[in-house]
Amino acid sequence: MSTRRALRRLPLHLAATVTVVVCLFPVYWMITTAFTPNRDIQSAHPRLLPRTWTLDHFRRAVDADGFGLFWRNSLLVTLGTVVLALLVALGASFAVARMRWRGRRQFMLAVFVAQMAPWESLIIPVYIIARDTDMLDRLPTLTLVYFMMTLPFTIVVLRGFLSTIPPELEESAQLDGCTRLSAFRHVALPLLAPGLMATSLFGYITAWNEFAYANFLIIKQQDHRTLPVWLSSFHNVFGTDWGATMAASTLFSLPALVVFLLLQRHVTSGFAAGAVKG
């Protein structure tokens, strides 16, 4: 009975295995190449598991010009984006979810539309505006652009989460003598945690990954480049050094991979919520 059942489910499990392998193989190959000595990388017979392991590639990637600097740049821009978007979106979503005012519907409509902003088509004007205001080659410019890229999504998701928290909770805290602000802080904010997590993850991924604006807005000040741009140029400079390139890619992807894996459940439900609601 149970073997027949297992047999019947075999195609299903085969399909699942294929899916897992296809999804993971590039990630796996990146990481193992990063640990494989050069003579094995450049061999006619690549092996699925490296014979010997080495840290040389990582050393070369970390020692490469400005690695620490670009890491710091990316971190600063990402943190700035997430904090700014959360603060601004918290205010806006609170206004939308908890207050009645004229223009509320129109505001939400504008937010929905802004979510579809054609960012790829705005590189040229943003470049020109940044140049005219002396903001070219500066990290705050990137932060502001990424902030705007993530803001609409953040507002939509936070509003969605806020509207599931009954206002009565805050009102009873206010009855107990809290101000509206502290009622919000002590009652609603903790319940909002999953929403905050999903949206900051979204901002984190957007800012950490963004390439086009970082590539075209940071031109003269090479010290202000971010990791994605560095990685693509690293690959060009070290053209044949695939070990170091894969080590650099690993170091660059690891934060995202780890965070996503740890927060898997919130990621999926949060993104689904964001997708459903707008």
Q: Which stretch binds other proteins (CB under 8 A): 58-66, 75-83, 186-194, 207-215?
A: 207-215
Instruction: Confirm if 247 and 117 have CB atoms less than 8 A apart.
Output: no
Rg for the chain (alpha carbons), in Å?
23
Phi and psi angles of residue 255, each rounded to the nearest 5 degrees, phi first: -55, -45
Instruction: Confirm if 211 and 233 have CB atoms less than 8 A apart.
Output: no
CA 42 to chain centre: 33
Q: Which stretch binds other proteins (CB under 8 A): 37-45, 55-63, 75-83, 184-192?
A: 37-45
266: contact with other proteins by CB under 8 A: no
Instruction: Confirm if 146 and 117 have CB atoms less than 8 A apart.
Output: no
117: contact with other proteins by CB under 8 A: yes
One residue of 76, 174, 222, 238 binding other proteins per CB under 8 A: 174
155: contact with other proteins by CB under 8 A: yes
Question: Distance between CA atoms of 29 and 146, rounded to whole angstroms?
Answer: 31
Quick one: tokens of 245?
């390139």
Instruction: Confirm if 206 and 149 have CB atoms less than 8 A apart.
Output: yes
24: contact with other proteins by CB under 8 A: yes
CA 7 to chain centre: 41
257: contact with other proteins by CB under 8 A: yes
DSSP 3-state assignment of 120? Answer: helix
One residue of 12, 52, 134, 220 binding other proteins per CB under 8 A: 12
Neighbours of 136 (CB within 10 A): 19
Interface positions, 51-80, toward other proteins (CB under 8 A): none
Quick one: tokens of 161?
């989460």
Q: Which stretch binds other proteins (CB under 8 A): 65-73, 75-83, 118-126, 189-197?
A: 118-126
Q: Which stretch binds other proteins (CB under 8 A): 56-64, 65-73, 191-199, 252-260?
A: 252-260
CA atoms within 13 A on the CB side of 218: 27
Residues in the interface with other proteins (CB under 8 A) total 105
Question: Distance between CA atoms of 207 and 199, rounded to whole angstroms?
Answer: 12
Q: Find the shortest distance in angstroms from Cβ 257 to other proteins.
A: 5
Between 111 and 224, whose beta carbon lies closer to other proteins?
Answer: 111
Amino acid type, 135: M
16: contact with other proteins by CB under 8 A: yes
Interface positions, 89-108, toward other proteins (CB under 8 A): 89, 91-92, 94-96, 98-104, 106-108
Q: Find the shortest distance in angstroms from Cβ 277 to other proteins.
A: 7
116: contact with other proteins by CB under 8 A: yes
Q: Which stretch binds other proteins (CB under 8 A): 54-62, 63-71, 191-199, 239-247?
A: 239-247
Between 92 and 187, whose beta carbon lies closer to other proteins?
Answer: 92
